[in-house]
Structure 1
Amino acid sequence: MINGTDYVKYIKNKSIPFYSHSNNKKDDSITFHSASYNKSNWNSIITDDWHYMMHNSNDLPDQGWKIHISANLEDAQEVLIKVSELLITTKVSFKFIPDFLTLELSYSKNADRIEAGKFITIYPKNDTEFCELLDPLKRITDQFKEGPYILNDRPWKQSNVYYRYGGFRAMTAIKDGRTIYVIRTPDGDFIEDKRVPYFSKPDFVNEPIYIQENNTYPNPETFAKLDSLNIKEALHFSNAGGVYVGKYKGHDVVIKEGRPFIGIDQKQCDGFTRIKAEYKTLMKLKYVAGVVDPIGYEKIWKHNYLIEEKIPGETLGEYMAVNFPFPNNSDVTLYKHNALQIIHKLVNLVKEIHQKGFAIVDFQPENIMIDTDKRHGTINVRLIDFESAGPLNNRYNPNLVTQDYTSFQSKTFKDADWYTLNRIARSIFLPVESTMFYSPELEKRQNKNIKFKFGKDVVDYLTQVQNLCAKHTTIYRQPAFYDGYVETPQESINSNNLAQNIAALEKGITQNINYDLKGLIYGDIKQYNDSLSWYAINYGTMGTIMALQRNNSNILRTSAFRNWLNKVEERIDSITKQDSSFNVGLFDGLGGIALILYELGHKDMAEELIHRCNSTHNALNISMYSGLTGLGLVNLVLYLSTNKNNYMRVAKQIADTIISRYHSGEFDNQEEYEGRLGLIKGWAGPVIFLWKLGTLINDLHYRSEAIIILDKIVATGIINTEQGSALSDKSKGMVRILPYLDTGFAGLSLVLMDINLDAPNIIRKKYSNIWETIQKDVGSFCTYQCCLFSGTAGLAMYSNTVKLNFNKTNSFDIYLQALNNFMLSTNRKNMLVPGQFGVKCSMDYETGAAGVLIALLNIENQINWLPLLANNPLNIFNSKPTTQLKVMK
């Protein structure tokens, strides 16, 4: 899973405003290298994440015991040299993290806990070789500093050498609708290769006798003091350690754990060091009423534990998620009253803490506790998490993970606190993603939206707070990771300017196309996931090309583009011939890529690529995004274009598979995930696919199965609110209401409106409450992002569909206006879109400009936003009934 930490590698190219690889040698990380080797005997492959060293003579098994070497950042290169000398001599294949920056990021607080610490991975050919390597590796690593403890491995004799049983090659399967890694049992069956943060081995495997007889473990008495903490439950985990609820010396407490050599911050301090420092800071702030009270400090085994009072209430982030009046017709009085109290108390807290000589530093909504006294109408505000706190004039090193509340140009801790206070105050009334710069003009456009929702008095109050903060810091700032000019676009987005807005978005894309790039465009960093990701609809080229194609862009007719496309066709052909494990999805893989190639006239190659997709469809999830539904739609539209029966046959096979898996309990048994009931990654996608197939060929069975699944979605997720029906989500351990196109009510509503065009009596009678809510088009005042799937652009497009279906809308113009919270420009004439985390921009379909462009094209000209062939008879989400085939089923 990618998080904010992963984006650090892609922000350092200051010559462009987009996420990309660095083009500056000074920005390059220190590259790790192995001991010398004979290149004729070793196959060396380097990716963004790993440097593989595979010996030509090795015929490795699919699974077995593998060894991991943990290393301290300070001597990692030396460890690699010594370890690789042994492995090269003994002809044992291995891989290692390729550079210092990637290793440092993998050790950071918010990196993947399961993978953290695995600097070198070793692949023994058999159990004998596995056992023979352990002691020599221990003797080597004992010469160096201790590295991070690897959570899901077992250490060999308490050293930096670890081991676990698992897959050597990635083998996957579908379990309850999710893709899992698997290993094979002796009987030939597949079971899950569990990736959990503790040592686990399959039941059919025993540790070799040598391991059982020779490994050593810490004395159990070492952990006895843990009993005094009476840990009841875990609140949170990170690489730095866990956060728990417990009972300590009669107090209800929160316990923060610090792990050594891991959870590294910008100063390369680990979790252990920060917990120790936090305890000392809290003791000095003990009499500040708004700061959490420290109760105790314990060191147990290699870890330390800060024991604090358990503060009642919820974080400010949780408070905003539950209480912010997102619906456009909701009453704002209570939220406005409480929000102004919260800001006032935060201002006073910052002043009081600064008077004590300290700055907060990690100052963000998740570290602010809110306790509401409804009886007296008061709010209690307390601060937690002082890991990063320090003296006011300490030099400030920002953290990307909290980018919304970070200024990369702050020089001191004090400066950073005042900047963050202003950002928090504004976000309480306008919770949107920060963009890569902040200017008076952007503020003016955002203030227009705040005034519309909360009134001029709130804008005036926020201006007072900003003026106070401006005495201590600089409010308006240029991008930290782009040296060029940035401002707001000359034309704001509104219904009268759509043609100009579309032209400006196209310019923002075409002016930044780079034919020297493998992927032509600068999308989200997930376009670097693998060789095919460069070209996928979601983050790669083809989604952007689709948007340009639907806008009839001249650039697609140039010889430069045609030459590029011909080379890419050859590259895609080669990739999918060499590796059969490629993604085949509509949005994330070959299915969508092939359809855009078909639309561009490369029909023979496109059909060959679809044939490769169809041979692997049994191992897919059910979604439109990456699974069966998407591939089913691909085959349907190709059947309609070519009239080749094999496409209809595959579409029916896929439909039958979805139906079988639903009735076998996949819906009921699968774990909660965000969007499980939604259109793009969940079960609403199969509903529209089955309905369209059934209507197209006049088959009542498929239509009936669509309604059965739709009934299940409604029964499981639809809840009643003050504004009407809403689609709930429980994936985060709490009930949330999601409005979005991909995961929420908008996507499900599109499905209902589409089915209604074919069968109005079903929808209006069966789902009358939901239908009434759709007509109201309550909408949302703002969204955190502006993108197509989970942001404002998708909701604006949805609201326009409501308008086309009911000849009225309450939210359409509000959504268009809300897009101006985000839009940027490098010359006032073009329009750029912030990507994930807002540090830089994106040109892609899912997170960036192509998605906003396709949304506005749909609004202006009813252009199909799905990556299916343009003007196909399925008529999905274009406010027209399905065109029924003359031939019967």
Structure 2
Amino acid sequence: MSVSGIQQTQLYCLADPTYYETPARLPDEETRYPLDSAPPPEGRRRVRNGLWTSLLPEDRELAEQGWKIHVSTVPEEAEATLRDTARICLAHGVPFKFLRSEQALLLMSDKYMARSGAGKFLTLYPPDETVFLRVLDELVPALAGRRGPYILSDLRIGDAPVYVRYGAFVARWCTDADGERVPALRHPSGELVPDERGVVFRVPPWVTVPEPLRPHLAARAAAGDTTFPYTVTESLQFSNAGGIYRARHRETGRQVVLREARPHSGLDAVGHDAVTRLHREHRALTALAGLDCVPEVHGVRSVWEHHFLIEEHIEGSTLLEEIVARFALLHGSGTDAELATYTAWVDSVTERLAQALAAIHARGFRFGDLHPTNVIIRPDGRLVLVDFEYATALDDQDTPVAGAPGLQAPTGTPGAESDAYALWATWLYMLMPIMEMAGHDRAKAVTLERWARRRYRLAADAGPIRPAALRAAEDRLGGEGEIAALLDGPVPDWAELRTRLIAGIHAGATPERTDRLFPGDPQAFATGGGDLAHGAAGVLYALHRVGAPMDPAWTDWLSDAARRRDPAAPGGLYGGLPGTAVVLSLLGRADEGRELFERAAAAPPSASADLLNGRAGIALAALRLARAGGRGSGGSAAASDLVTASDPDAKVDHDLVELALRTAHDLDRLVRGESVPGLAAPASAGLLRGLSGAALLHLELHALTGDDRHLRAAGRALEREAGHCVTMPGGTVQVKDGRRHLLYLDQGSGGVALVAQAYLARRAAPSLAALLPGVRRGCVLEFIREPGLFTGRAGLMAAAGQLSSEGRRAPDVLASVRNLSWHLLAEGDRLLVPGARLRRCSADLATGAAGLLLALHFLSGGGTGRGAAATAATAPPEADGTPGLLELLTLG
């Protein structure tokens, strides 16, 4: 996972142990600062946004942009710093915001928070440059000598934790060079341009730095240590705590690793900062010197305000990289011989890890942070442990242990025993690399171990001794037994799975909230909680398709959420108003759906060509609404004639059909290699993120109009998609995307194959037909890390059923369904589904329970067809009249 992905996941895991949740709902009432709850000062109004509280003038709005001031702090000085800064702001009429509580400050200073925003405790918005400079003149002396993290994006002023940068004060948005929507500044020309918020101080080219700031700018440029003897050759990792770099000694050429620690940054659970942990690591490495499993340490240096631990550079791969490269259930066909080879390697690694921990314990230390990325395997097979930030004396009761999710010992586990727990968990991770599931319930670790012992044919005494901390978990296996009972028979208990998944979805509904109706992926909070992929539209669509009961108030909620969405950023089929419009139409609100779609269509066209949020998806939404509405009397004569020729009795909205025809024409030009202004081809392939969506649009138009040009255009798009596919050593066909190989529906060969199958039902194409067996083989791979529809087991097992000549309940498909036991969580009479990254549960369509419900509905043969026209466009007719998977996935 990328660092940005870790940061986002961490941020949305703070407020709730079960679901991804906005940090604004953090239960921090006991540590709120008085200014957050006291009556606002006269002439001010209080505005809350997430973890931030703003005090703004009642009689005027913020300036659009300008020089802003940031103040950082440490927890023990925060209240005084807030009081002194607020006094100056109120005296000068300056609007400001602050983190509302000590708990919020601690969390936003965590190691995994974004570096660009790290350290910011207060933000001041002076109305003009004169006030800006006047406030600085008072604020810097008032806070002189106070402590706080360095704010990397800003210019520091004097010896106070006061920083400045030029930037936006209010939310303005524009599109950057990569087509992403980003915060914006207004150029003197009036054009909106990106407001760059990185980790380096920058000034927009049209802005003049005020004269009083120039000495501080010069001081920043002069900072550093010219005697530091190392030259950085590569950046290996960044976090809020600092960076890790590969470096070379300028005189000797010796390769080293520099571990950087930023003062007052990267706070952990007990408030220790990165510098405290770095010096703890230095003491441990010094005490453990000479052990083959420990890097040689070369000392500690301070450069400017940052501290650097200098240690031996270890050649080799991390244990995680070795697992990914070797994992037997992913590479190969899972024969007994292949599994035996892999388990022999696992046994060897485990034995060497045990020896390394024993050597460290013999010196009176615990390691405290064992997981696969903290183990390096040298080219000769020797193991080295890295990252000794939590290595302390075996009897240390104060320093917490660290560790990856699911691999940590219970709180309070003593030193050697905590390492023993992590050793057992790491052994199990090598066999089943989804140990995040044990973070939800340690009983899941017992289930995974039992599965692994059966599958790998392990001897009873294989692996490390099971930790004593798991004995209590073994007494709580009732829910795990219920899940097994639903899945382990010759045929899964489809009805009960459906009932319990629906119960879990219903129980998570929060119609009293305005930011979300159902818990889902964190991305839902950025789109208002109403979209198809991660929001209420997708959940309500799945419930509608399976015939589950729904509270009418939920449809009202969806409608209200759609109307709250910024019309300038309407999104696309799965991430915005077009998809919501189709769902509202399916739920009986066709006029409202059409109105929402028109709002979306009035915005500037998307630069993307794909189905997810691009033009293919928006045009497909138009076709869905055109079939449902049939009210349009306009449109071009060509659109009207084509539809009439195909079906004289068709009732369609010709305006929407014309929009789809224009889009399809542009997409075909793009596929042909022509330049289409404002439109870019996807870099990869897949149903949602590739040109398969364009091919599907052409198939829909062919079914609607009978025009063979659309069939030929679909073939061209699919041939281009096929160019991204490669055959892997095990015979599976996957999309190659850089170093990754993908099978999924959103990006990967699984989604490509579904559209190719629909195309092949209409026209022969041997090169496309040749891909399908290998794709299907990949869709039933035994190990799939996540359970979701777009990028997990739900989507792949459903695709395998759609592509199977044996029917959707082929034996290998049912075997994949049974392996849902790895992921499903029982909570009373409900089933919960972990979302993307497995850290919290989700009910959404893309990653959670709604998507799994839809996939099981398809595999069980539930429901009835939606009409010959729709089915003909999206999939070969099903023998039992039930909808095809492509129809279900694309709102057909």
Q: TM-score scaled by structure 1?
A: 0.85
Of stretches 703-712 and 280-289 in structure 1, the one that deviates more from structure 2 is 703-712
Structure-2 change in CA distance of 1:466 and 1:795 (3 Å): farther
Mark the runs of 5 or more structure 2 residues left unpaired by the alignment. 630-651, 879-883, 888-892
Paired position in structure 1 for 2:166: 165
Q: Which has the higher contact order (CA 8 A, sep 6+)?
A: 1
Paired position in structure 2 for 1:348: 355
Mapped partners of 2:176, 2:708: distance in 1 = 29
Paired position in structure 2 for 1:845: 845
Structure-2 change in CA distance of 1:221 and 1:526 (3 Å): closer
Match of 2:446 among 440, 443, 449: 443
| Contact 2:28–2:104 under 8 Å retained in 1 | no
Mapped partners of 2:161, 2:496: distance in 1 = 60
Structure-2 change in CA distance of 1:54 and 1:533 (3 Å): same
- Displacement of 1:832: 2.2
Mapped partners of 1:484, 1:88: distance in 2 = 59
Structure-2 change in CA distance of 1:171 and 1:704 (3 Å): farther
Structure-2 change in CA distance of 1:105 and 1:628 (3 Å): farther
Mapped partners of 2:40, 2:273: distance in 1 = 38
Mapped partners of 1:313, 1:432: distance in 2 = 24
Q: Secondary structure at the match of 2:299?
A: strand
Would you say 1:510 and 2:506 are equivalent positions? yes
- Displacement of 1:600: 1.7
Of stretches 237-246 and 414-423 in structure 1, the one that deviates more from structure 2 is 414-423
Q: How does 1:470-869 map to 2 (within 5 A)?
A: 470=468, 473-474=469-470, 476-477=472-473, 488-489=482-483, 491-493=485-487, 496-497=491-492, 498-518=494-514, 522-524=518-520, 526=522, 529=525, 533-553=528-548, 555-556=549-550, 561-566=551-556, 568=557, 571-572=560-561, 575-576=564-565, 579-581=566-568, 583-619=570-606, 621-642=608-629, 643-655=652-664, 676-693=684-701, 696-698=704-706, 706-716=714-724, 718=726, 720-730=728-738, 735-759=739-763, 761-762=764-765, 764-765=766-767, 767=768, 769-774=770-775, 776-777=777-778, 779-803=780-804, 811-827=812-828, 829-836=829-836, 838=838, 840-861=840-861
Paired position in structure 1 for 2:465: 466
Residue 789 of structure 1 aligns with an amino acid whose one-letter code is: F
Of stretches 712-721 and 72-81 in structure 1, the one that deviates more from structure 2 is 712-721
Instruction: State the Cα deviation string for residues 706-741 of structure 1 (Å, max 9, x = none).
Output: 5555444444563653424322233xxxx1222322
Would you say 1:104 and 2:100 are equivalent positions? no
Mapped partners of 2:175, 2:432: distance in 1 = 42
Mapped partners of 2:291, 2:723: distance in 1 = 49
Identical amino acids, percent of aligned pairs:
23
Paired position in structure 2 for 1:873: 870
Residue 86 of structure 1 aligns with an amino acid whose one-letter code is: I
Residue 126 of structure 2 aligns with an amino acid whose one-letter code is: P
Of stretches 534-543 and 37-46 in structure 1, the one that deviates more from structure 2 is 37-46
Q: Secondary structure at the match of 2:66?
A: strand
Mapped partners of 2:725, 2:158: distance in 1 = 50
Mapped partners of 1:695, 1:802: distance in 2 = 21
Paired position in structure 1 for 2:81: 79
| Contact 1:843–1:849 under 8 Å retained in 2 | yes
- Displacement of 1:874: 6.2
| Contact 2:67–2:126 under 8 Å retained in 1 | yes
- Displacement of 1:290: 1.3
Mapped partners of 2:42, 2:713: distance in 1 = 58
Mapped partners of 1:596, 1:324: distance in 2 = 41
Structure-2 change in CA distance of 1:221 and 1:173 (3 Å): closer
Residue 264 of structure 2 aligns with an amino acid whose one-letter code is: F
| Contact 1:11–1:839 under 8 Å retained in 2 | no
Of stretches 813-822 and 198-207 in structure 1, the one that deviates more from structure 2 is 198-207
Mapped partners of 1:603, 1:807: distance in 2 = 33
Residue 507 of structure 1 aligns with an amino acid whose one-letter code is: A
Q: Secondary structure at the match of 2:552?
A: helix
Residue 544 of structure 1 aligns with an amino acid whose one-letter code is: V
Would you say 1:329 and 2:333 are equivalent positions? yes
Instruction: State the Cα deviation string for residues 475-514 of structure 1 (Å, max 9, x = none).
Output: 55399xx999887526232561223322232233334545
Indicate the RMSD between aligned Cα atoms, in angstroms. Answer: 3.9
Mapped partners of 2:135, 2:668: distance in 1 = 50
Mapped partners of 1:407, 1:522: distance in 2 = 32
Residue 251 of structure 1 aligns with an amino acid whose one-letter code is: R
Of stretches 401-410 and 272-281 in structure 1, the one that deviates more from structure 2 is 401-410
Q: Secondary structure at the match of 2:151?
A: coil
Paired position in structure 2 for 1:318: 321
Mapped partners of 1:671, 1:208: distance in 2 = 44
Paired position in structure 1 for 2:135: 133
Q: Secondary structure at the match of 2:219?
A: coil
Match of 1:370 among 377, 390, 396: 377
Q: How many residues align?
A: 844
Structure-2 change in CA distance of 1:684 and 1:276 (3 Å): farther
Q: TM-score scaled by structure 2?
A: 0.85
Instruction: State the Cα deviation string for residues 692-714 of structure 1 (Å, max 9, x = none).
Output: 34554345665555555544444
Q: Secondary structure at the match of 1:737?
A: strand
Paired position in structure 2 for 1:411: 413
Mapped partners of 2:677, 2:769: distance in 1 = 24
| Contact 1:69–1:160 under 8 Å retained in 2 | yes
Of stretches 202-211 and 794-803 in structure 1, the one that deviates more from structure 2 is 202-211
Instruction: State the Cα deviation string for residues 270-299 of structure 1 (Å, max 9, x = none).
Output: 112211110110111112211222122212
Paired position in structure 2 for 1:208: 210
Of stretches 309-318 and 289-298 in structure 1, the one that deviates more from structure 2 is 289-298
| Contact 1:862–1:878 under 8 Å retained in 2 | no
Paired position in structure 1 for 2:284: 281
- Displacement of 1:861: 2.1
Paired position in structure 1 for 2:300: 297
Mapped partners of 1:636, 1:665: distance in 2 = 25
Instruction: State the Cα deviation string for residues 759-801 of structure 1 (Å, max 9, x = none).
Output: 3x23x23x46533423545732212222222222221111111
- Displacement of 1:369: 0.8
Residue 76 of structure 2 aligns with an amino acid whose one-letter code is: E
Of stretches 661-670 and 243-252 in structure 1, the one that deviates more from structure 2 is 661-670
Structure-2 change in CA distance of 1:709 and 1:211 (3 Å): farther
Residue 851 of structure 1 aligns with an amino acid whose one-letter code is: G
Paired position in structure 2 for 1:309: 312
Mark the runs of 5 or more structure 1 residues left unpaired by the alignment. 374-378, 885-889
Structure-2 change in CA distance of 1:38 and 1:310 (3 Å): closer
